[in-house]
Structure 1
Amino acid sequence: MSSLYRGLEALRAFVETGSVSNAALRLRRTQPQISRTLAQLEEEIGFTLFLRNTRPPTLTREGRRFYEEAEGVVQGMDKLRYLAKQMREKETKHLRILTTPFITNAVVTDAVADLTFSGQLDSAQIESRLHLGIESWMSTEIFDLGVIVAAPAHPSFETRTFLTVEPMAIVPKDNPLAQKAEISFDDFADQSIIQLHSRSMLRQHLARLSAERGVELSSPFQAANGLIACQLVDRGLGCCLADPFVSTASGLANIAIRRFTPALKLEYSFMYPLWQSRSQLVEIMSEKIETLACQKWQELTQNADR
């Protein structure tokens, strides 16, 4: 590894962790080693990166500009190192999967287990990220297969939609609405509704319906994600609209899951990095996840109709 790359790697660790000591922990080096590496980087590029009269040190204006450019170089090197590792170990049946927490719980872990026990997969690294930060982690993470809902267009990835679902109404089991096979927006108008964050597609869907009907929903509680919203419903604090796989992955005993109208379409997609060739194992994993997801969606809709 070149001294320049070691310096850039140390710089990234420092910026992302906020201190030399934390950067040392991340890179599994000592604090003096990181300090020397950063000093050597400054000597090599010919200008000062840090204001050392602050605690902890902070980047200078030039240092900030340099880091913004250097980050892309480090990401590119990370991708090359990962690709080289794949090429060296081409017989190793390993996958790195990037997804969101509720998809991991609902589908991905079962797919990984099935392929492992069938001898098609030796090992896997599953990284879970919140959907709100998707555009950021799409640009920075290294993975073989991404599995997300509402995939945005991105020039570095090929996306393929494999399942379209609808959000479900989640109500307490002792709520009279639980006796209905289908719950409408008009039914929600008389309930306490637990809303998701303002960027959520489900909250925006309810907001559009509210505006169209001139109805303001009562929403004393707001949740950061669908799982928390379902947990609040489980405690009897209201009703909510949730992604179907969030509601089933929650494992809560005191909620009823019902169809909701007017419906909203949610598209689940695979993301394939274009900077590397797609292996047969990625295709096999994609097929397994798609099969399991379709089965679970069918089971969920059948149970909701009962």
Structure 2
Amino acid sequence: MKLRQIEAFRAVMQAGSTTGAAQELHTSQSNVSRLISQLEIDTRLVLFERTGGRLIPKPEAKALFKEVERAFVGLKSLTYAADTIRNLGSGRLRIASIPGIGLSFLPRVVQRFKQSRPDVTVSIHTNTSNTVEQWVSSQFCDIGIVAFVSAAATCQVEALPDSEVVCILPKNHRLAGKAKIKATDLQGEEYISLVHGDGSREETDRLFEREGVSRNMSLEAQYSASCCEMVKVGLGVTLAHPLVASDFVGQGVKILPFSPSVHYPNFLLYPPHSSMSQLAEQFVGLLRDQFEREIAGWQK
């Protein structure tokens, strides 16, 4: 079977005559008849009854037409996909991120992105830095945001600006009037910590050990946003990434600088040996801009 034969057959079935099919295909009636005859020879099917110069579809023709229509639906979807790729990407963007960034900051970037790309499907997947790295390396995700990159990483890596940790307290806390919170100020305080195994938790614990500060550690959470929620209801204090803290401004907490400085590194990951799509480039441009503007706002 040849594509031109299939096109002629489909046109005859839709138009109901070789005359209508010829007009649809911008060819002659005799050429349509010839293509139909060739199709019947190639398929070894008698598709039409010839009556008074007309082609009457037989059951075989109707059955074949159903299959042809399924094939043409597939072709239409390919045409749509090609149009989408030409107009900035594949129509789907998968972003992997550590929870602190994925649960708070990324939705703000997606909001800006969807203003110009409303038809694009955006998926956000959150997990540890190691898992995010694996997702991007395997090309399950197009972009990744992590707090650290392993020595065995195969992804392309781009550093984002470092951010300094902030201290979050209930608004009526005894320390809320200070301009800056020192580690020693939190001696004996009810401290809401990330769970063991989190890299930020380990770094924070080492800092307080160096400062000789003992905290009351009866509350833990997997996500920094959950820690901040507990601060909001008065359960204690915590340290957090400023981009996470941004979600809690004006929500009954006080957010203050912390000393000594604790820097949170962040990195963008891209799949190895692969250039970014225009869609991903547009998203990353917005992400960089949003990240830099929000971090700069906390450093003023």
Please classify the TM superposition score into its range, dividing by the shorter chain length. 0.5 to 0.7
Indicate if the aligned counterparts of 2:137 and 2:155 stay in contact, CA closer than 8 A. no
The CA distance in 2 between the partners of 1:235 and 1:288, in whole Å, is 33
Q: Deviations over 1:72-97 (max 9, x none)?
A: xxxxxxxxxxxxx9889632533222
> In the aligned structure 1, how far is the partner of 2:243 from the partner of 2:291?
9
Q: Over residues 233-285 of structure 1, what are the superposed CA-to-partner deviations in whole Å (9 max), with x where a residue is unaligned? A: 11111111111122223567121111111111111221110143222332222
Unaligned runs of 5+ in 1: 1-84
1:280 aligns with one of 257, 278, 281: 278
Aligned equivalents of 2:238, 2:200: Cα separation in 1: 9
Matches within 5 A, 1:61-140: 90-93=85-88, 94=91, 95-119=93-117, 122-131=119-128, 133-134=131-132, 137-138=135-136
What SS class does the counterpart of residue 175 from structure 2 fall into?
helix
SS in 1 for 2:227: helix
Q: How does 1:251-262 map to 2 (within 5 A)?
A: 253-262=251-260
Pair 86,241 (structure 1): closer, same or farther in 2 beyond 3 Å: farther
Distance across 2 between alignment mates of 1:154 and 1:283: 25
Alignment counterpart, residue 167 of structure 2, candidates 166, 169, 183: 169
1:181 maps to: 179
CA distance in 2, matches of 1:86, 1:144: 18
1:249 counterpart residue number: 247
Task: Indicate the SS of the match to 2:85.
Answer: coil
Map 1:214-229 → 2, pairs under 5 A: 214-229=212-227
Q: Please report how far the alpha carbon of residue 175 of structure 1 lies from its aligned counterpart in structure 2 after TM superposition.
A: 0.6
Q: Of residues 262, 265, 268 in structure 2, which corresponds to 1:264?
A: 262
Determine the C-alpha separation between the residues in 2 that align with 1:204 and 1:104: 21
Aligned-partner SS, 1:90: helix
Question: How does the TM-score come out when normalised to structure 1?
Answer: 0.62
Relative to structure 1, the CA distance from residue 296 to residue 257 in structure 2 (aligned partners, 3 Å threshold; closer, same or farther) is: same
Is the deviation greater in 133-142 or in 201-210? 133-142
Aligned mates of 1:179, 1:272 — CA distance in 2: 43
Q: How far is the alpha carbon of 1:213 from its aligned partner?
A: 3.4
Which deviations, in whole Å up to 9, do the C-alpha atoms of 1:10-29 show, x marking residues without a partner? xxxxxxxxxxxxxxxxxxxx
Q: Alpha carbons of 1:157 and 1:135: their partners in 2 closer, same or farther (altered >3 Å)?
A: closer
Judged with a 3 Å threshold, the aligned counterparts in structure 2 of structure 1 residues 90 and 135 are, in CA distance, closer, same or farther, namely closer
Show CA shifts across 1:134-178 (max 9, x none).
455455561221123334344331110122101111111101211
Answer with 1 or 2: which has the greater Rg: 2
Equivalent position SS for 1:247: helix
CA deviation profile, 1:193-216 (whole Å, cap 9, x unmatched): 112112223322332233323333
Name the aligned partner's letter for residue 128 of structure 1: H
- Per the alignment, in what secondary structure is the counterpart of residue 179 of structure 1? coil
- TM-score, with structure 2 as normaliser: 0.63
Give aligned pairs, total.
Answer: 217
Partners of 1:192 and 1:231 in 2: CA distance: 14
Question: Contact 2:182–2:260 at 8 Å: present in 1 too?
Answer: yes
* Whole-angstrom distance in 1 between the partners of 2:211 and 2:107: 41
Letter in 2 for 1:117: Q
Matches of 1:259 and 1:284, distance apart in 2: 33
Pick one of 204, 208, 212 that aligns with 1:210.
208
Q: How has the CA–CA distance of structure 1 residues 107 and 222 changed in structure 2, closer, same or farther, with 3 Å as cutoff?
A: closer
Distance in 1, matches of 2:105 and 2:192, equals 25
Alpha carbons of 1:296 and 1:210: their partners in 2 closer, same or farther (altered >3 Å)? closer
Residues 136 and 270, structure 2, Cα contact 8 Å, conserved in 1:
no
Of residues 191-200 and 210-219 in structure 1, the stretch that sits farther from structure 2 once superposed is 210-219
Distance 1:215 1:280 in 2: 50
* Native 8 Å contact 2:231 2:238 kept in 1: yes
What amino acid maps onto 1:149 in structure 2?
A: A
- In 2, Cα distance between equivalents of 1:287 and 1:124: 18
Further displaced range: 135-144 or 289-298: 135-144
Alpha-carbon contact 1:169-1:242 (below 8 Å) kept: yes
